[in-house]
Amino acid sequence: MRRMLGFISLAAILILANATSASNNFTIAKPGCPDRCGNVSIPYPFGTREGCYLNGDFFLNCRRTPEGDTLPFWHNTEDIDVKSISLISGQLTVTQYIAYDCRDRNGTSVDYASPWINLAPLTVSNTANKFVAVGCDTTAYVYGERLDDRVYDTGCIATCSGPDDLEKGVCSGLGCCQTSIPKNVRTVQIYMSSYYDYVNVSNFSACGYAFLVEGSAFTFSPENITNLRNVSYLPLVADWAIGNGTCAEAMADHNYACRSVNSECYDPDNGLGYRCNCTQGYRGNPYLDAGCQDIDECQDASLNMCAKPEYCVNTNGSFHCVCPQDYHGDAKRDGQGCIHIGSQSPAFRLAAGISLGIIVLLLSAFGFYIVLQSRRLIKLRRLYFHQNGGMLLQEKLRGKEKSPDMAKIYTEFELNKATNNFHNSMIIGQGGYGTVYKAFLPGSGHVAIKKAKQVPKQIDQFTNEVIVLSQIKHKNVVKLLGCCLETEVPLLVYEFVSNGTLSEHVHDKSKALTLSWEMRLRIATEVAGVLSYLHSDAASTPIIHRDVKCANILLDHDFTAKVSDFGASRLIPLDPTELSTMVQGTLGYLDPEYMQTNQLNEKSDVYSFGVVLAELLTGLKALSYARPEEERNLANLFVMKRDQLFQILEDTVVREGTKEELMKVGVLARSCLKVRGDERPSMKEVAMELEGLRVGGKHSWIRTEHVEEDKESLLGKGFDGFVNGGSGNSSSVGFDSLRDHIILPAMVGDNIWK
């Protein structure tokens, strides 16, 4: 039996029951169709019978449960029942099971649930829901797919030392943590793990819980540490829309769903399709013929501003406040009201003169305000320039201005003009670190302008990194041209690279066919070379990139690789112990040793490069939920298939590469993917080996006997047959170059790969 606790407030329950109930005066369902299922209103385009819903996407199965309740269920599902539907907001509320992980005193799992829900074609609301984890040794992740099969993942950690750490209504990490989810999410699956297996807290918190829930339906209470075990499900809000097209596309279609004369179309922020609303002054169901009816504002004083009910005159879609005969004025409560003409005419003339004077004063004040605003903006730009380290950067640049490679400080006016005031049409990428705009700057040509999401906390470090990155002189690094410090968030200006990302060319089936083995080997060699350069003293200051992945490797017109996105990078200090930092990077590329220890070093880039090398060899994504669970992570798959390397290689790679080359690159990739960082080669060694393969030479760090030792296990027994008649798999979807960044706290164990 489904169970719910009293911590879901009565107010929330009333919202679920009544949020979408239409006015009693308006029809919400098609003629002859039921408008309710149990206690839930069912407005068209939804329906429970054939002919009562718009299409199959809006079918609800109204049936009686074993407990005797009559409930509408989403399509033909057994456990996703609909609690409410809103025409105005375009949302419906459903039930979603919670995830839990319970252990005994020895840390052994005794009960575990990892719920999954697929609401397609609906999208999970990113504004009405929040992801919550409850427990004192709990790590929770929420995974799923967004539109266009793009994967998302996020999560949080909840810990505590004892019940005294817990505070009612506070969900910031002690016993409870929460985070938001991105737009355009259609499927949700929740996983859980524990750092210490609940052994240290088992006497008061033996279970952890995680769930995606409507924000207003859950408030943390210390009792939730134990009483959530009695909860089966919580409400979740989904956004719905009509079809997949925009309003502009739908209006040209004879199946346009906004049927009522007094209705209008709008494009929602979350998901595909369009929605309809009644125009202002009307209410009802815009999806029905004549569904939007006039609101009589005169019947409700809260809907009109007339001084007296008799002054109100209702019109279609609006109302007027009118004075009766022999009276003048605006007839409004907060205005003049209605004044008798005969007895008040001198006062009226005086009021008219005063009003004219006030108008003149207001116009003068407005002009003065415009001048003040202009001065305020100038002061604000100066303030931002100072706060963002402009003076410090100018001081560091002094004496280096003659260098053509030195960073330039741009004005806000220059970048606003180049991006049409940062119009959405200029966006070429978005991700966890910010938004990237394409622009044209005189003297620099086409550039990419990156607008970060957060103000740098360490201004001195930020200015130092701007100078260091601008001085990197390497053909395989995206050049930092300069920055603008006159805005609240600093803007970075990079050279524009025209041919997209390596991820697009490796994972897009049509583009992958044009990416030959020779090109792949050259790209790998170029990337290894630039990472070796960044790690070495040859750079002005050694740098750890920290987010090496195919999406951060750009290709120019002749497919020369250029490493980009140093938003996660860190300058290497003299003392290696200083590199203890919050785990940051991209799932599938993260160094497992770095995730466990929080200690960042050059070998973390080596691991990430190993994943890139595996992608170039196999054409597979670094992380894909389309593969079996144990093979979702490419690094794991590559190590697991050590005896069957040629069964997972890309067709193009097998056809064009020599047996010896592929075997050596496979050994190299697997060496980079060693769990222990001290067992991995340096980027210098990797670069030398790849360069040796390109020119037909050989390097000594991979010993010949080691290559021969791994040869049979890498090639497998079926190599010859595979070359003669086998087929590989290069089918996958490319990621957006700026959308796959995540930030997760460090954790121990292998649950991150599951």
CA distance 572 to 357: 68
Select which of 547, 565, 605, 740 is catalytic. 547
Residue 260 corresponds to which tokens in the numbers above? 């009522």
Three-state secondary structure string covering 426-481: HEEEECCCEEEEEEEECCCEEEEEEEECCCCCCHHHHHHHHHHHHCCCCCCECCEE
Residue 294 corresponds to which tokens in the numbers above? 């006039």
151 strand-pairing partners: 145
Q: Is 239 a catalytic residue?
A: no
**Bond before 45 cis per omega within 30 degrees:** yes
Handedness of CA 297, 299, 305, 311 (dihedral sign): positive
Token look-up 């280096």 returns: 400
146 strand-pairing partners: 185
User: Under a CB-based contact definition with an 8 Å cutoff, are residues 91 and 235 in contact?
Assistant: no
CA distance 413 to 415: 6
Q: Are strands 99-103 and 408-410 parallel, antiparallel or unpaired?
A: unpaired
Handedness of CA 408, 414, 419, 422 (dihedral sign): positive
94: CB partners within 8 A, 6+ apart: 74, 80, 81, 82, 83, 119, 235, 236, 238
Token look-up 């003009």 returns: 417
**Bond before 121 cis per omega within 30 degrees:** yes
CA distance 429 to 381: 26
Inter-CA distances, 437 with 113, 430, 450, 505, Å: 43, 9, 6, 21
- Residue 691 is inside which H or E element, if any? helix 683-695
Handedness of CA 502, 508, 509, 513 (dihedral sign): negative
Residue 51 corresponds to which tokens in the numbers above? 């002919």
Handedness of CA 41, 44, 47, 52 (dihedral sign): positive
Token look-up 């125009």 returns: 279
365: CB partners within 8 A, 6+ apart: none
User: Under a CB-based contact definition with an 8 Å cutoff, are residues 625 and 673 in contact?
Assistant: no
User: What is the CA 448 to chain-centroid distance, rounded?
Assistant: 21
Q: Is 451 annotated as a binding residue?
A: yes
Coil/strand/helix, residue 666: helix
CA distance 149 to 221: 37
Instruction: Tell me the CB-side half-sphere exposure of residue 519, using CA atoms within 13 A.
Output: 17
Inter-CA distances, 65 with 16, 77, 227, 605, Å: 19, 12, 25, 55
Burial status of residue 72 (CB atoms within 10 A of its CB: 0-12, 13-18, 19 or more): buried
Instruction: Tell me the CB-side half-sphere exposure of residue 273, using CA atoms within 13 A.
Output: 20
Q: What single-letter DSSP state applies at residue 185? A: B
- Residue 711 is inside which H or E element, if any? helix 704-715
Residue 131 corresponds to which tokens in the numbers above? 């992801």
What residues are annotated to the active site? 547
Residues annotated in a binding site: 451
Residues annotated in a binding site for ATP: 451
